[in-house]
Amino acid sequence: MTSHDQDYFRAFASMNIELPAEPFTADVLRRVRRRLWIRRAVLGAACAIGAVSAIGPFVELWTRSELGLRTLLVQWPDAGWYSQYGLTMIILSIGLGWPVLARWLSR
Number of domains, the chain? 2
Predicted model pTM: 0.40
Check whether residue 90 and residue 65 sit in a common domain.
Answer: no
Residues of the chain above pLDDT 90, percent: 11
Residue 2: left (phi > 0), alpha (psi -120 to 50), or beta?
Answer: beta
pLDDT at 27 over 70: yes
Check whether residue 65 and residue 86 sit in a common domain.
Answer: no
For the chain, the average pLDDT equals 77
Domain limits for position 31:
19-76
Q: Is residue 9 part of a domain?
A: no
Q: Is residue 13 part of a domain?
A: no
Distances (CA, A) of 52 to 19, 41, 44: 52, 17, 12
Q: How far apart are the C-alpha atoms of 29 and 13, rounded to whole Å? A: 16
Check whether residue 56 and residue 85 sit in a common domain.
Answer: no
Which residues, 6 or more positions from 14, have their beta carbon under 8 angstroms from its beta carbon?
Answer: 20, 21
Q: Is residue 11 part of a domain?
A: no
Check whether residue 24 and residue 37 sit in a common domain.
Answer: yes
Average pLDDT over residues 71-96: 72
